A = this chain, B = another copy of it.
Amino acid sequence: MPVTIKDIAKAANVSRGTVDRALNDRGGVNPDVSARIKTIAAEMGYKPNTIAKALATHAKPIRLGAVINSLGNPFFDKVLEGIHAAVESLHDYGISIDIRKIRGYDPQRQLYEMRQLREIGIDGLVITPVPDTKVRDELNDMIRSGVRVTCCNLDIDDVNYQAYVGCDYFCSGQTAGEIIGATTHGEANLAIITSSHALYTHEMRVKGAESVLKEYPNIHICEYIEAGDDEDLSYHEVLRLLKQDKKIDILYFVTGGTTGGLKAIHELHQEDRLRAYTFDLIPAVIEDLKSGLIVSTIDQQPYMQGFQSVRTLFDAILSRHTPARKQIFTELNIKNRYNISS
């Protein structure tokens, strides 16, 4: 039989209202009484009933906002799926979400949408924050004004957010490096295709792989290509590379530009000579896992990232107190042609 606020009230010889105020730090309670109530609650092993809490609060529905750079990036489809599923699962709590999809890592556009949402009035925000000082400042400003924020997929420095939900990028790079080493038997001439050295997260993937690959004397990193977040640019760059450098036999796609790069390989009919290593399970990757061009890819649970971002926000909004800023790392999972389940 779980202990309720009523039990505590009786034990502390106060009213239920007072217990509620004390336990939730709503103020207007004698500090001594408040402390006593809290002690008693702890002793009795009190756990608030979220259901009842939600029912009682239900009057004012929770409004969420999301700014996701999903346009033209199929990876984020899964993130959005997770977001929708989470909102759906919270339907009974009277929750709604306004999702703004933007293209690429553009701070201006992101700021615009953030301000729009802020004007409408939201209780929580899910965002894939661009590393930009203005974005950072706006986020901190929103947080100060009471909006809860979770950063999804992309972490950002100096923002006092609720949580970062995403993968450990350096670790994902190490994991990739290890696979490359093991499956090439330590013999490879590598080209690394990354989006931009400025994108810290992707740079971590490069560094992670390098840290492992340096153990292999016969694996040479011959080329670094920056393809932005642009499939077309990536396509042309990889095309150029493969035409000019015939000894490259392994391509390591850090992300962003993977689809374009794969297209270039096929166009030059070099599927047999080359092997590729990628991240995520976007359609183009799945196809070439099956064709055998891609040896393996590393999944970072995008669905989970979306799902958890929303749930974390919800939990934070429902329980008034601010839990510590935290990082929720999703699992990194290696996939080959046989275990592409989702």
Contacts and interface: CB of A to CB of B under 8 A. Distances in A.
Nearest to A184: B185
A286 to B, nearest CB: 15
A98 interface: no
Contacts of A298: 339
Binding site of A, secondary structure by majority: helix, strand, loop or mixed?
mixed
Interface stretch (A19-27, A50-58, A235-243, A250-258): A50-58
Interface string A37-76: 0000000000101111011000000000000000000000
A196 interface: no
A338 B91 contact: no
A179 B336 CA distance: 8
Given A295-B182, A342-B331, A49 B92 contact: yes
Interface residues on A, range: 35 or more
Contacts of A91: 2, 47
A2 B182 contact: no
A185 B187 CA distance: 12
A337 interface: yes
B334 A336 contact: yes
A305 to B, nearest CB: 14
What is the copy number of this chain in the assembly?
A: 2
A58 to B, nearest CB: 8
A332 B341 contact: yes
A175 B49 contact: no
A303 to B, nearest CB: 10
Interface of A: 2, 47, 49-52, 54-55, 91-94, 168, 171-172, 174-175, 177-179, 182-183, 185, 212, 295-296, 298-299, 329, 331-339, 341-342
22 contacts: A2-B91, A2-B94, A50-B92, A51-B51, A51-B54, A51-B93, A52-B92, A55-B55, A175-B336, A175-B338, A177-B338, A178-B336, A182-B295, A182-B336, A296-B334, A299-B333, A331-B341, A331-B342, A333-B335, A333-B339, A334-B336, A334-B339
